[in-house]
Amino acid sequence: MILAIDIGNTSIHLGAFQGGRLRRQMSLPTRLANIPGRLRRTMARLGIAEEAIICSVVPRVTPVVAQTLRQAGCGRVRMVGRHVKVPLTNKYTYPEQVGQDRLVGAYAAWKEFRRDCIVCDFGTAITIDIVKAPPKSRGGSHSALYLGGVIAPGLEISLEALANRTALLPKVELKEPPELLGRDTADSIRSGLLYGCVALCDGLTAQLKRQYAPKAVVVATGGASPLIAKHARTIDHLRPNLVLEGLFQLIHH
């Protein structure tokens, strides 16, 4: 079994791959006080992994997860960015600023579609990134190009901000409202956030395609992606587990 782990700001996502396919997946909160204990119980259910690969945007949690995996009997633990490099040409002005999860998602999209891609990741933050096909050259093949992207607050962050920064607006559960027009406060918030996010996705994606990648395929991923993809016109493919798939491909490409 190969274990792929995506450590995000809100959740730690784990995917167990066997026979080249994602067989099981689990999540646990990143802010959980007892990450080692919870992770050991999760590993007990999944079984012993021959190898694990970790992608993290929470540096303080990374060594805790890696040590717990080793203690649980995992044969080899590798970290993206330290032991494994994402094989894209990073065109960011400051390449070290790009989250490894963004690079892994871009790489996974490129590996699947082999053409220009725009990757919309709806997680704690919303990121919309462009990966372009490598330039043709007589010198042989080159890696695909990660051009960059845009970052906006995610749905959960927006929900928390409304509840914490306003006197009368409550914290509501994120779910699809019954219609566009909110008829009570909770549904008004849900409608504004959901359809506002859909409009953001469609608007930014259309502009990015027009200016940088007219023929790009648009791929949605992340926890809120099924909800957004249901309404967004610009999304071509839904891949909620794109980063986990990309992690697996990095060590078995």
Active site residues: 101
Identify any residues that bridge with 25 across adjacent strands, giving them in sequence order: 15
Q: What span, in angstroms and rounded, lies between the C-alpha atoms of 21 and 24?
A: 9
Three-class secondary structure of residue 11 per DSSP: strand
For the residues of 58-110, what is the DSSP string, one character each? Answer: -TTTHHHHHHHHHHTT-SEEEEBTTTB---SEE--SSGGGS-HHHHHHHHHHH
DSSP secondary structure letters along 178-224? SSSS-SSHHHHHHHHHHHHHHHHHHHHHHHHHHHH-TT-EEEEESTT
At what angle are helices 155-165 and 185-212 packed, to 10 degrees? Answer: 140
